[in-house]
Structure 1
Amino acid sequence: MSADAEMSRYVVEGRPLTSGADRRAIAVYLAADCGGVVHRLTLARHGIDRFGVRNEVAAGRWFKVGRHTVAVGSPELSPIALRWRAVWESGSGSRLDGVSALLAGGMTGFTSPVIDVSLPARNRHHRVEGVRLHLPRAPAPVATSGIPRVAVEVATIHAAQWAASHRQATLLICLPLQQRLTTPTRVELVWRGVERSTRHTFLSAVIGDVTNGAHSLGELDFARMARRAGLPEPTRQAVRQGPNGRVYLDVAWDDVGLVVEIDGGHHALALNPVDDALRQNDRVVAGENVIRIPVLGLRLKPTAFMRQVRRAYDRLCRC
């Protein structure tokens, strides 16, 4: 017998389920997709009224973990259960947003101590432990079935805006793209619609970096950094002859044989590292010295990377 057929044996619309075994069976079924929790209204629609809930709670089999949320079997809530509780308890129209929406959508490699929830500012809302509320006038629409949450590209932009630091914001832009949860084009389109942000200039640069690669730095930016580090003017887009034809290098000081390759955000994806390694090795075999710098590194730690370039240049000058 299928799970749905088994379920139908217990459903009696509008009539309380008097059997404790029936109550528990249906509650387990309903809570399965929500990490072990279920909304009181969902229980009521399936014949489990407030008296049935009260009896199970009194017996220590169910646990009230909010005004609307009932935990079935254990009061210890899983991450999935905590997200459902956050949405149910925060107010009408709640949806996961920011990092929480990304995690619910499958992002890995990041954890958050709070759950981000957004809902319309005009709606009645409730403070919930462990939940950070955002109350925009017009929140982004719910973009998926399952737990209510905003679209990945919207969540990506919000997560970066709400991040604790520039470094964390950069990571939260990169992770969804590297894990193929959304595309650079979609992220860029959402960002274009953002008029105000406390880190607007920084995020504009980073989003340009991960969508357009090293070219987003602008032709004169690296030269300006080099001058600031006390280096002479480099050659940009220097041309070399490789085994398979012409190779264009980002920056070079031909007088000392120093090459700097600036890797855009796309370089960590797919087969790009293979092509990058082949190109770098060709230059080393040809007798040049190559320094690789991720473009995001120039955004986050420009002084440290340029100090390395300066040390390499000075060493080669002494040779």
Structure 2
Amino acid sequence: MDQQLQVFIEVAEQKNFSRAAEELHMTQPAVSQYIRSFEESIGVRLLERTNKYVRLNQAGEIVYHHAKEIAGLYSKMQNLVDDLANKASGPLTIGASYTFGEYVLPHVLSKLVADYPSIEPQVTIGNTADIAELVITHQLDVGLIEGHFKEAAPLQNEDFAEDEMYIVTSIDHPLSQNKDRQSITELEDDIWLLREEGSGTREAADLFFSQSGFYPKRIMQFSSTQPIKESVEAGLGVSLLSQWAIQKELRYGNLTTLSVKGTPFKRHFSIVTNSPFQTKALQVFIELLKNSEELTVLNMETKT
């Protein structure tokens, strides 16, 4: 990759010439010269400099966005060429939405690293929209997302796993001892603890409500699943959560599920990529996902 581009990205991310020089194993004057030359070639200043900070201006933001995409494509190209003569190895950038990334992916990665020790996985966890965007801009090799990303035109999308979602309550909830099938309207006075807009879990919850002809009177939003589980356990409200997220709590009796019409609510997880070419590392990872015994075991544990 062009040295000027690499130096610019490092300065933009470090927001400091000295720290960028350390990361690049260069002198600070050399870094400054690269930035001057790069700005001259672009034809405009890209960084605002004072004694206290270095930051991107509007032009710099534009260049940085595309520089990251160029860097991702360059890395992918190099890995594909290396694959022609080598076995599965090297970096593999994986993105996953919260539910899959926090509760399932660690089991898959453990097997991947054991079977292919030369592969170096790097993981980013975020909501569905963020992960899809990083795949689109070539900053991730693969994304594992829930729901259907609305702007997925450039992406190759393939379902690979089915998830079941259940309504969960505290063990002290008035309906927790009722094993008969219940109507969701019996929960209309409860506070519903839900993930934020843009997450696949929230998309699934909204779809479930729509199909049930019901919408909660009161909603409290959270940016991750763990505080939702803690809040449900504390009796704050109820939620609709993935089977994978609630295994331990069900096993130890900290939460319980309600038998409500329309549950378990089923959704699919998808593998998304943004290139017709795949490195050997990505190929073996996707193959491992599709044939993962871990998914089967996790699903069975929830049902038992």
Please tell me the TM-score bracket, short chain as reference. Answer: under 0.3
Who wins on radius of gyration, i.e. which is larger?
1
Structure showing the higher strand proportion among its residues: 2
Kindly indicate whether structure 1 or structure 2 has the higher relative contact order, using CA contacts under 8 Å at least 6 residues apart: 2
TM-score by length of 2: 0.28
TM-score, L = length of structure 1: 0.27
